Structure 1
Amino acid sequence: MTTKINYSDHNYYTNRELSWLAFNDRVLEEARDKTNPLLERLKFLSITQSNLDEFFSVRVASLTKLAAVNYPKPDASGMTAEEQLLAVNKSAHQMFIKQYNTLNRSLLPALAQQNIHLLKPDELTPDQLRFIKDYFHDTLYPVLTPTADDSSRPFPFIANDALNLAIQLNKDKTRYYATLQIPDNLPRLIKLPGAENDFILVEDVIKPFLGQLFVNYTVKEAAVFRVIRDLDLDVAEEDTSDLLKEVQQQLKLREQGSVIRLEVESTISKKLLKRLGKELNLKDYAVYEVNGPIDLTVLSKLASQVTNHADLSYKPFTAYQPTSLTGGHNIFEAIRRHDRFLQHPYDKFDPVIEFIRQSAMDPGVLAIKMTLYRVSGDSPIIAYLGRAAQNGKQVTVLVEVKARFDEQNNVHWAKQLEKMGCHVIYGLIGLKTHCKLTLVVRREQGVIRRYMHMATGNYNDVTARFYTDMGLFTVNADMGIDATNIFNMLSGYSEPPYFHQLHISPHGIRDFINDKLTQATEMAKAGKKVRIRMKMNSLSDQSMIAHLYKASHAGVKISLLIRGICCLKTGIPDVSDNITVHSIVGRFLEHSRVFIFNLDGQETVYLSSADLMTRNLNRRVELLFPINDPQIKKRVLTIYKVMWNDNVKTRVLQPDDTFKHVDRRGHVALDAQAYFADLASVHAKADKAAAEMAKPTEFQPMLSPENQPNPLNYDDGSDPH
């Protein structure tokens, strides 16, 4: 009798939060990797800190609230909220130790060898001491405001992420306490005179002169601390008429969220630490004593201010831009000839901006419709949309004002767009609009055509330089109809009965992938060759993982490229022994989502804005779209193949939930991101040379390393000729 497999067994799932911490540990490995340029290692360590801060302010905050009400329902791995909270803090404490060991034992000594120093007051030269004394009196003293903490003056409110000093004072054998917020509108990192790369932190400038703020008192102790608060928005969406005001109100309330974590210098006395913990109402596990500077995000500022050390950063590369997608050419004509594909950051983001620019200026364009989830602080896209409205185009922009940590920026742009004459909408009640979609309606010789851009990443010209994403320009008629229906759905009450080629969440992407997995499972049972390849940021949806397990059990070979969270376990006999998971963490943040289905020789390729997470599949408007052009399909498949064969930045998920580097003994090293960057530079150089000679470009394929995939062939949907 065959035993029925329970694909929902808790033992088959990894806890989401612990999986995220494992991802952040892979980022930390990059800070520890001596083959990375030294200043880039500093940036990786800084990233681990900013990652942790966001993780605590949202995910740990949520667990804290659930644990406080004894929420009984376990997660897919069988852990209650309280169990998760304890396990997460235990793991995070270990990560903090590892972070500061990396800084103190590896990075600071390596910086010193390059004559780059982060100094303490007792390490300064006489000239440097005079400099910090003057800096304290002239710049800091006028803005510092100490706050007493006694029976008549209660413990002050401590702002999220602000640096503070906890101070113990003595006078006439009596102990007093005070706090001092370190100004965040002045540089934290101060360049010192006398050496090219000598720096000091502002808190280390303040400490030696604290006595001048407390005349007639003796400063017995001063320790830097900061708190991370609950920053999750709780927006009621009964209707969207006042959504903008609701978000703005919640942004103000966010600053008052409960404290989730306290970081403090390990030199603090037990008495002062106990007092802080009591005043902030924290449990012991939420207190983090660290051996070094509080808030390691300052290290990215240090890396950016070091001079004359280009050799300590990544070698620059030249991103490629097809000639036909530049400002001197008609972009609509180029898209009409055939679909166009971009792989950022190796291909420039400029064609996307140029598409909006030409749409704003072109007399034939009637309407522009666009979704905006995250845009840069000084977005050229916003300016061109405004200009389009002023030029008489009908401009409709969906601005997602609930995009986490971009709410304030998006509220600002929503108001600006409205002032410029654009019609701004805020999406559907209860759903975030996360899809990346632009539709341009153009009249051409009496015919209406719909031009589209769809992408895996945001319309953000800044992050496009260091996020890997993919985008497609097309004039496909069926997709154009689908896109029109999507915007009608977002702006009104339209509910399209079906879509021709596009697949939309909520639910549509889940249904589509489930159908593909069911087909694959049945074909595998029938003895046919079936292979599924996917790339995403995160995989956490329990139902989707169960479906992958069923397909694996039937014999479907499944390859998954997952940058971050992965709640699926590999190596479970008869359940996941046909599933392999790779994770690439490197110079660029892997952000594209790719879904490839090879069912008995019939291979289809899709790109998407969605990860396989419950929120993306059920509670967001997401987009999954096909790659129909044979040459572009070939290119995407080659990109996936190169990434799968990466043996430098790839870690492979083991059955014990750990990630291990690929064993590349006997193989030539292949760093996929470096490979794509080098290839882009080669093609950009070839284009430049061809332009100078006024001859058509004949790309010579770059020779790939031995035993590795062939190089990308740019003679596809991105070929300018």
Structure 2
Amino acid sequence: MHHPAPASPSEPDLTAPGLYLSRELAALEFNFRVLAMARNADVPLLERLRYLSIVANNLDEFFEVRVAMLKHHHAYGSAAPGPDGIPSGELLARIRSRVLDLVAEQYVAWQEQISPQLDAERIHILTRKHWSPRQRRWLQGYFEHEVLPVLSPLGLDPAHPFPRILNKTLNIAVVLKGRDAFGHEGHMALVRAPRSLPRIIRVPAEVSGPGEHFVFLAELLQAFVDLMFPGLKVVGSYQFRVTRNSELIVEEAEVENLALALSEELVGRGYARPVRLEIANDCPKAITAMLIENFQLEEADVYRCDGPVNIIRAGLIYDWLDRPELKFPRFNSQLPPALESARNKFDLIGQRDVLLHHPYQSFAAVIDLLRQATADPQVLAIKQTLYRAGEDTPLVDLLVEAARNGKDVTVVIELRARFDEEANIRLATRLQEAGVQVVYGVVGYKTHAKMMLIVRREGETLRRYVHLSTGNYHQANSRMYTDIGLMTANPEIGEDLHKVFQQLSGLGPMIELKRLLHSPFTLYPSVLAKIERETAHARAGRPARIVAKLNALNEAHVIEALYRASQAGVEIDLIIRGACTLRPGLPGISERIRVRSIIGRFLEHSRVYWFANDGEAELYCASADWMERNLMRRIEVAFPILDPELAARVFEETLANGLADNTQAWLLGSDGRYVHADPGGNPPYSAQQGLLDRFCQ
């Protein structure tokens, strides 16, 4: 918590709550920027559909984690306000108001823009009222043969209490009239859609004719709901979906086996406390009230949907359709020329550092390095961190092969990578069975650093080869996320990384590093010290500047230091994709701070910190944002780009390039709202397209 010394009467109080935006509200604002991509007519149509699905997915996670945590603390009176000073009750009300705006805009985009334009492209999302007789016959057959046998409709009465409803699943509330076989009056029933059923059904071309035709499972269930309750009259049927708290709270200090404890808790995650109820727009008050009561929610937790309650599933259509003209143009990421021509990667990296800028340059370079290490008899050991790796990555196959080839392989797997816990437990098991030494990191600290260390015998000495990155070892993400990777044989960086891995696997003592900044130890004080150094330069009349690219900024002491730097005359440019709780442009406080967010084809993910340092500029790439959790509660690494040529490249490609964007950039105002950048009289420029044009021709 933020408890600095009070400011002197002559200076503004830089800890005043009015100087800080709400972290939760700032996170919500990010989704409005993503939704703008879904509504942008210049974006290919199927990509717009994907952005709409991304917003729905982000909202799910926002409620599962942020709102769930806030509601929990509020209910137990333990919610001390953050630096913004907003009491939890007021914050929950403000979140609801903003989410209502977002949901309304989301369904307007779906109903009025995306659906009609999909129709124009002969991609039809069919609702019941638009089914042809032939489509209806086929869909009824599909329902009777593929869906009905899997369903277990449940009447609600004293003998059939309200069932457990799994997190984020599709359900139908049904109102019935008439008597059942036992003479009981029918009133209410529930139909739960098992996860085994596809949420969208593709209708064959021979049934529907030219074009593509899809039907949401909810439409199918509602259309044929009467077949589930023969002899009863269906008065109405209404979709609903409940979102539950998904934050895992394993008490790590009290468990003997973290993997086992997590596995056990994951079983119950789907039935944790509800935090949101999504219902169809036409759901009557009585049904809504019944659902609210059964889920122990309040009216303020209900969100009405003018369309499918699980609109997130529309994203499946993007994956199914091969319509390249409705997607972003394909691109071919290249290997750096030096790496492509080098038969022996170790010889090249031993002579000079190699920089990788994903997705413009291929992640295959990392796979190739590990593949060579796996086969090279001179390689003795490989150490690697895996946070989110994906289950189909060749990296894991290579690590298994390396272990079988007799190399000492150690992998640090972060089991608690949110929503990847189950995949990571399976991954850990597979690696252990192959003889890999698997470590789960450090109790109480997520291992978020992205690093690989290869130890190779060369003559009479052992040499260390290093790969460090701002992003995960996830091949699919490397095509969608922007990240910076560094391959180096710098002895000091290699020694530093060796010490970090020793600490992770051996629970060693405090370590002193020469080149790397290491969270939760030196990274946080180093960032503060480098900001203060720029402040001192400005006060001494020297030019001073800070440029940083981050996913998020919310750490109060860092923001306070940036405010002081601005007051002293430091020019500060921040490129922050997601939540930013700093208020730029406040007179006397932050008028020298400018904040922008770039939302484009790729998810901006690289973290880069640059400090002018009176002509001796320093540039670091990192796995860490300037957030409380990254700086204090995670294992993170920031690595310097020591080669001046490569440092200039990183500055130009990530920082200067991002600041030049005037088509996909959003500018943050001091009120917390973003305004889309306008080229004005300047030529339009997209930072991401500029790099695609440069690297991927």
Could you tell me the TM-score, scaled by structure 1's length? Answer: 0.93
Return the offset for 1:110.
1.4
Matched, 1:106 2:113: yes
The reply to whether residue 582 of structure 1 matches residue 596 of structure 2 is: yes
The 1-side partners of 2:185 and 2:268 are apart by 38
**Secondary structure at the residue paired with 2:696?**
helix
CA positional deviation for 1:196: 2.0
Find 2:545's aligned residue among 520, 531, 534.
531
Task: Name 1:511's counterpart in structure 2.
Answer: 525
Q: 5 Å matches for 1:632-643?
A: 632-639=646-653, 640-643=655-658
Offset at residue 240 of structure 1 (A): 6.7
Q: Select the residue among 207, 211, 222 that pairs with 1:196.
A: 211
Partner of residue 671, structure 2: 656
Q: How far, CA to CA, are the matches of 1:126 and 1:429 in structure 2?
A: 61
Q: 2:689 aligns to what SS in structure 1?
A: helix
1:556-612, CA deviations, whole angstroms, 9 ceiling, x for partnerless residues?
Answer: 000000000100001111111110001001110000000001022121111000000
2:38 aligned partner: 31
Does residue 607 of structure 2 align to residue 596 of structure 1? Answer: no
Match of 1:153 among 157, 160, 170: 160
Tell me the secondary structure at the aligned position of residue 311 of structure 2: coil
Task: Tell me the SS of whatever aligns to 1:600.
Answer: helix
Supply the AA of the counterpart residue of 1:43.
Answer: R
SS of alignment partner, residue 507 of structure 1? coil
Pairing of 1:299-448 with structure 2 (within 5 A): 299-307=314-322, 309-326=323-340, 329-448=343-462
Amino acid at match of 1:355: L
2:192 alignment partner, one of 181, 190, 194: 181
Kindly state the Cα deviation for residue 304 of structure 1 after the two structures are TM-superposed.
2.7
Query: What residue in structure 2 maps to residue 285 of structure 1?
Result: 300
Q: 1:573 to 1:456 in 2, by over 3 A?
A: same
Q: Aligned partners of 2:247, 2:113: CA distance in 1, in Å? A: 35
Per-residue CA shift, 1:37-74, capped at 9, x if unaligned? 11111111100000000110011000010110122521
Q: CA deviation at 1:142?
A: 1.1
- Give the equivalent residue in structure 2 for 1:698: none
Q: Deviations over 1:208-264 (max 9, x none)?
A: 222121122111111111111001000111167411111111111212211111111
Distance 1:143-1:597 versus aligned 2 partners, 3 A rule: same
Alpha-carbon distance in 2 for matches of 1:191, 1:282: 36
Q: Which residue of 2 aligns with 1:688?
A: none
From the superposition, tell whether residues 628 and 680 of structure 1 become closer, same or farther in structure 2 (CA, over 3 Å).
same
CA distance in 2, matches of 1:14, 1:234: 27
Question: Is contact 1:356-1:381 (8 Å) kept?
Answer: yes
**In structure 2, what is the Cα distance between the partners aligned to 1:647 and 1:316?**
23
8 Å CA contact retained: 1:561, 1:581: yes
Q: Residues of 1 paired with 2:305 and 2:463: CA distance?
A: 60
Which residue in the other structure is 1:167 paired with? 174
Q: Does 1:485 align with 2:499?
A: yes
Which of 440, 454, 457 in structure 1 is aligned with 2:471?
A: 457
Q: Could you say which residue in structure 1 is the equivalent of 2:64?
A: 57
Given that 1:71 and 1:81 are in contact with CA atoms closer than 8 Å, whether structure 2 keeps it comes out as: no
Aligned partner (choices 50, 56, 59) of residue 43 of structure 1: 50
- How far off is 1:326 after superposition? 4.7
| Cα gap change, 1:495 to 1:245, in 2 (>3 Å) | same
After TM superposition, the score normalised by the length of structure 2 is: 0.96
Shift of 1:427: 1.2
1:221 is aligned to: 236
In structure 2, what residue type is equivalent to 1:317?
A: F
Q: Does 1:87 align with 2:94?
A: yes
**Aligned partners of 2:340, 2:371: CA distance in 1, in Å?**
11
> What do residues 109-142 of structure 1 show as CA deviations (whole Å, max 9, x unaligned)?
1112222211112212222111101111111121
> What is the alpha-carbon distance in structure 2 between the residues aligned to residue 333 and residue 238 of structure 1?
45
Say whether the 8 Å CA contact 1:264–1:289 is kept in structure 2.
yes
Q: Any unmatched runs of 5+ in structure 1?
A: 683-721
After the TM superposition, list the runs of 4 or more consecutive aligned residues in structure 1 that deviate by more than 6 angstroms: none
Aligned length: 681
Equivalent residue for 1:295?
310
Give the match's secondary structure for 2:385: strand
Question: Counterpart of 1:342 in 2: which secondary structure?
Answer: strand
**SS of the residue 1:238 aligns to:** helix
Does the 8 Å contact 2:177/2:232 carry over to 1? yes
What is the CA distance between 1:323 and its match in structure 2? 4.5
Counterpart residue type for residue 202 of structure 2: K
- CA offset at residue 507 of structure 1? 3.4
2: CA distance, partners of 1:99 / 1:638: 36
Which residue of the other structure, out of 236, 239, 243, is the alignment partner of 2:258? 243
* Distance in 2 (alpha carbons) for counterparts of 1:115 and 1:472: 46
Tell me the equivalent position of 1:18: 25
Given that 1:31 and 1:41 are in contact with CA atoms closer than 8 Å, whether structure 2 keeps it comes out as yes
Structure 2: runs of 5 or more not aligned: 1-7
1:476 maps to 2:490: yes
Q: What per-residue deviation string (whole Å, max 9, x for no partner) do you get for residues 296-334 of structure 1?
A: 212211223335x32111111111113543597211112
SS in 2 for 1:430: coil
TM superposition shift of 1:175: 4.7
Q: Counterpart of 1:475 in structure 2: which amino acid?
A: A
Match status 1:259 vs 2:270:
no
**Deviation per residue, 1:591-637 (Å, 9 max, x gap):** 00000010221211110000000000000000001001121111111
The residue type paired with residue 558 of structure 1 is I
Q: Distance in 1 between matches of 2:261 and 2:229?
A: 43
Amino acid at match of 1:480: G
Percent of aligned pairs with the same residue? 37
Q: SS in structure 1 opposite 2:638?
A: strand
* Structure 2 counterpart SS, 1:297: helix
CA distance in 1, matches of 2:506, 2:373: 24
Letter in 1 for 2:35: L
In the alignment, what sits opposite 1:717? none
Mapped to 1, the partners of 2:563 and 2:255 lie a distance apart of 40
Aligned to 1:232: 247
Give the conservation status (yes or no) of the 8 Å contact 1:326–1:354.
no
The 5 A counterparts of 1:550-699 are 550-639=564-653, 640-682=655-697
2:4 corresponding residue in structure 1: none
CA contact (8 A) 2:253 2:443 kept: yes
Task: Evaluate the alpha carbon distance shift between residue 328 and residue 529 of structure 1 in structure 2; reply closer, same or farther with a 3 A threshold.
Answer: closer
Query: Does the 8 A contact of 2:60 with 2:243 survive in 1?
Result: yes
Contact 2:280–2:305 under 8 Å retained in 1: yes
Q: What amino acid sits opposite 1:182 in the alignment?
A: A
Partners of 1:92 and 1:382 in 2: how far apart?
A: 40
